[in-house]
């Protein structure tokens, strides 16, 4: 019986996901590998976030979105799964906005991090 948990996300773009993980200073690799769980069970993942206990966190494409896949018994991040995903989602949204704005000829003017954790982005476009 598998102990792997699959958590749905709203992460669709592999490159934006990789950039977001890097922005958060998470060590990752994208080789098609397997992550290890309880009793040495394995699960495939396209993007793997390294953990110090060698029970890594995976992101697996399910045909629609990337799911977070991990054995929660070995969660070794300094914060909860929810907070971990919230941080990735926030950075992913930020990087998505920057990518779309560049494609639509907006100029990235400034970014401001608020004390409440939100990010304010100022974009300009001249006609």
Exposed e or buried b per residue across 65-99, where buried means at least 16 C-beta atoms within 10 angstroms of its C-beta: ebbbbbbeebbeeeeeeeebbebbeebbebbbbbe
Mean pLDDT of the chain: 90
Whether the Cβ atoms of residue 17 and residue 89 lie closer than 8 Å to each other = no
Q: How confident is the model over 31-83, as pLDDT tens digits?
A: 768 998 888 889 999 999 999 999 999 999 999 999 999 999 999 999 999 99
CA-based angle 118:56:95, to the nearest 5? 30
* Residue 2 pLDDT > 70: no
């Amino acid at each position: 019986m598998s102990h792997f948990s699959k958590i749905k996300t709203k992460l669709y773009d592999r490159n934006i996901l990789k950039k977001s993980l890097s922005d958060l200073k998470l060590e990752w690799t994208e080789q098609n590998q397997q992550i290890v769980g309880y009793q040495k069970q394995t699960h495939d993942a396209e993007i793997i976030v390294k953990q110090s206990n060698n029970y890594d966190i995976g992101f697996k494409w399910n045909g629609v979105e990337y799911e977070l896949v991990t054995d929660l018994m070995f969660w070794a991040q300094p914060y909860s799964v929810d907070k971990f995903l919230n941080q990735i989602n926030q950075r992913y949204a930020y990087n998505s906005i920057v990518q779309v704005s560049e494609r639509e000829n907006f100029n990235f003017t400034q970014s401001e991090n608020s004390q409440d954790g939100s990010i304010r982005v100022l974009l300009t476009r001249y006609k």
